[in-house]
A = this chain, B = another copy of it.
Amino acid sequence: MAASAMTGAESVLRTLSAGGVQACFANPGTSEMHLVAALDRVPEVRPVLALFEGVASGSADGYGRMAGIPAATLLHLGPGLGNAFANLHNAYKARTPIVNVVGDHAVLHAPLNAPLASDIASIARPVSDWYASTRDARSAATDAAEAVAAARSRGGQIATLVVPADAGWEASDGPACALPVVPPAPAPDGAVEAAARALGSGRPAALLLGGAATRGPALRAAARIAAATGARLIHDTFPSRLERGAGIPRAEPLPYLTEMATEALAGLDHLIVCGTQAPVAFFAYPGRPSRLPDPDTAVDVLAGPREDAAAALEALADALGASAEAPVADAARPELPAGALDAAAIGAAVAALLPEGAIVVDESVTGSAAIVQATAGAAPHDWLALTGGAIGQGLPVATGAAVACPGRPVLSLEGDGSAMYTIQSLWTQARESLDVTTVILANRSYAILDFELSRVGAEARGPAAAELFGIGRPDLDFVALARSMGVPGRRAEDAETFTAVLREALAEPGPRLIEARI
Query: A residues engaging B (CB < 8 A)?
Result: 26, 28-31, 33-34, 36-37, 39-41, 43, 47, 49, 51-52, 54, 77-80, 82-83, 85-86, 89-90, 93, 105-106, 108-109, 112-116, 118-119, 122-123, 125-127, 165-166, 169, 238, 277, 280-284, 286, 290-291, 386-390, 392, 417, 420-421, 423-424, 427, 430-431, 448-449, 452-453, 456-459, 461-465, 467-468, 471, 473-481, 483-486
User: 17 extra interchain contacts, Cβ-Cβ under 8 A, other than A119-B126, A165-B283, A480-B483?
Assistant: A30-B283, A30-B449, A36-B458, A37-B458, A39-B464, A39-B468, A43-B464, A47-B467, A49-B471, A51-B417, A77-B389, A82-B86, A83-B86, A85-B85, A106-B290, A109-B283, A122-B123
B115 touches A388 (CB 8 A): yes
User: Smallest distance from the beta carbon of A265 to chain B beta carbons, Å?
Assistant: 15
User: Smallest distance from the beta carbon of A94 to chain B beta carbons, Å?
Assistant: 10
User: Smallest distance from the beta carbon of A242 to chain B beta carbons, Å?
Assistant: 16
B123 touches A119 (CB 8 A): no
B26 touches A468 (CB 8 A): yes
B115 touches A47 (CB 8 A): no
Contacts of A424 in B (CB 8 A): 420, 423
B37 touches A462 (CB 8 A): yes
User: Smallest distance from the beta carbon of A261 to chain B beta carbons, Å?
Assistant: 12
Contacts of A475 in B (CB 8 A): 486
Contacts of A113 in B (CB 8 A): 277, 280
Per the bound structure, the CA–CA distance linking A453 and B36 in Å amounts to: 9
- The 4 A-B residue pairs whose C-beta atoms are closest, nearest first, are A82-B85, A474-B486, A40-B462, A79-B390
Contacts of A387 in B (CB 8 A): 115
Per the bound structure, the CA–CA distance linking A479 and B448 in Å amounts to: 31
Contacts of A82 in B (CB 8 A): 82, 85-86, 89, 123, 390
Contacts of A127 in B (CB 8 A): 118
17 contacts between A and B (CB under 8 A): A29-B449, A30-B449, A34-B458, A36-B453, A37-B458, A37-B462, A40-B461, A40-B464, A108-B284, A112-B291, A113-B277, A114-B282, A118-B127, A166-B286, A430-B474, A480-B480, A480-B483
User: Smallest distance from the beta carbon of A374 to chain B beta carbons, Å?
Assistant: 24
User: Smallest distance from the beta carbon of A33 to chain B beta carbons, Å?
Assistant: 5
Contact of A420 among B41, B51, B90, B105 (CB under 8 A): B51
Per the bound structure, the CA–CA distance linking A281 and B392 in Å amounts to: 35
Contacts of A390 in B (CB 8 A): 79-80, 82, 116
Per the bound structure, the CA–CA distance linking A54 and B29 in Å amounts to: 19
Contacts of A430 in B (CB 8 A): 474
A33 touches B453 (CB 8 A): yes
Query: Which residue of B has the minimal Cβ distance to A463?
Result: B40
A30 touches B474 (CB 8 A): no
Q: Which of A85, A386, A449, A483 has the most CB of B within 10 A?
A: A85
Query: Which residue of B has the minimal Cβ distance to A92?
Result: B118
Per the bound structure, the CA–CA distance linking A52 and B463 in Å amounts to: 21
